[in-house]
Amino acid sequence: MLLSLLFVWSLVAERMARWSITAPIAFAAAGVLLTGGDRPAVSLDMETHTFQTCVELVLAVMLFTDATETRDYEQLGRSVGEGRLLGLALPGSVVLAALFGALLFPGTNWWLLAVAALVVMPMDLAPALKFLRDERVPLRVRAALNIEGGFNDGLISPLFVFCVANLVTAEGDSFADLVLNAVMGAGYAVLAGAAMGCLAGRAMRRCLGAGWATPDGLRLANLALPFLAYAASVLVGGNGFVAAFVAGLCYARTAHGLGNEHLRLVYDAGHLMALAVWFTFGALIAEEFAHGVGLPVLAYALLALTAARMLPVVVALAGTAFSGAERAAIGWFGSRGVTSIVFAVLAYTQLDGDDAAFVVNVTCATVLLSVVLHGVTTEPAARWFERHSRKPTVPADPAR
């Protein structure tokens, strides 16, 4: 069924784009229609170990590709405020989301609120992809969003694993034990990912230069790299997500001169996996919202997309060369998507029933609202920037 959907979508994607129907919308709708009801056409068992492993591998590939994509903006030759966005705005957003959760869901465990905040706050640019590709939008705005989106899920993933561990920890494991395990896991992951990324980049450059490999062969090697980094880290007791992200960062720095064509296959594979995740999102919606959605969940989703995201971003970028409109655009277009869905599925498979339902409910509401709201505001925002563009358009350094 998924292969049939992929085939049909490939034939009509351009036509659907004219009606603002994107791939995430189409595959999520298909997930709702095909997995809902008493006799679904497709049955998904999300509680199996195999399903959980597949979801983890999807996130590993996404983290790897996000890390390699950030080098596309090196042409700017200057900071685009990414340090402030990642070091100030991201922690501020997570804290605000947890506080909003405490207000809307009194009595909820703080670790569970932290897990929910870490799930709903990472950016995924799929719902706002048209905005990022629109040349009417200033390049530095698109660069800031893309770089932040590439790094924030990699930074959040170890915190997510740590908070989930505090909810499911067995008796006898103290908080200090969990902290030590998390630090050791991250350390092993950094070492494994750095080793894999650096060695792979140098080996590919030398083998291609010596005529031992072809560009087509490098595409296959790149497809294997995120899986190898994930597996190597898990084998030594590290965090596979962190390893895949670090491998992408190191590979992008050591494989210079090879261009982007050799990464095309892993990008396509990541896109294909993302479509499967959107289908899973539709299944989650069909299950969780079969009997409606509560007002506190909707309020939390709206606050996560607006105040919890925009206030820290606007404050963090104050005093930079970004205009007020640019800061607002960066804050607003922090769309949610595949990363949040993957984290929610992992929480669903690891947490107890009520805790899992809480995380999945707020995630589904947040992502669904993001798809709708960011989708309908993309074109008006691009038109506003086109009308108010200034000449010359060479940006000053926003970090000063």
Q: What is the pLDDT of residues 113-135, one digit of tens each?
A: 999 999 999 888 777 777 877 88
Q: Report, as an integer, the average pLDDT of 368-382.
A: 86
pLDDT of residue 332: 92
Whether 7 is in a domain gets the answer: no
CA angle 246, 264, 12 (to 5 degrees): 125
For residue 32, being part of any structural domain is answered with no
Split at pLDDT 50, 70, 90, the class of 70 is low
- Cis check: omega of the bond before 392, within 30 degrees of 0: yes
Maximum Cα interatomic distance, the chain, rounded to a whole number of Å: 64
pLDDT tens sequence across 285-301: 887 777 777 899 999 99
* Residue 8: inside a domain: no
Burial class from Cβ neighbours inside 10 Å (0-12, 13-18, 19+) for residue 311 reads middle
How many domains does the chain divide into?
A: 1
CA distance 163 to 385: 40
Higher-confidence residue of 232 and 154: namely: 232
Mean pLDDT lowest for which of 36-50, 103-117, 231-245? 36-50
In a domain, residue 322? The reply is: yes
Structure tokens at 85: 């966005």
State the Cα–Cα distance between residues 179 and 42, nearest whole angstrom. 40
For 304-325, how does the pLDDT look when each residue is reduced to its tens digit (9 = 90+)?
Answer: 999 999 999 999 998 888 888 8
Average pLDDT over residues 326-345: 89
Q: Is residue 193 part of a domain?
A: yes
Other CB atoms closer than 10 Å to residue 143's CB: what's the count? 23
Banded model confidence at residue 73, pLDDT cuts 50, 70, 90:
low
Return the pLDDT at 174: 65
Average pLDDT rounded to a whole number, residues 206-231 = 87
Classify residue 10: in a domain, yes or no.
no
Phi, psi of 297 (to 5 degrees): -65, -45
Whether residue 253 is predicted with pLDDT greater than 70 in this model: the reply is yes
More confident residue, 162 or 93: 93
Residue 240 above 90 pLDDT? no
Question: Could you list the residue range(s) of the whole structural domain that residue 270 is in?
Answer: 45-387
What end-to-end distance do the CA atoms of the chain give, in Å?
52
**pLDDT band at residue 395 using 50, 70 and 90 as cut-offs:** very low
Assigned domain for 66 exists = yes
Across 31-35, 177-181, 230-234, least confident range: 177-181
% of the chain surpassing 90 pLDDT:
21
Highest mean pLDDT out of 90-94, 162-166, 371-375 = 90-94
CATH of the domain at 282: 1.20.1530.20
pLDDT at residue 392 in the model: 44
30 lies in some domain:
no
pTM of the model: 0.82
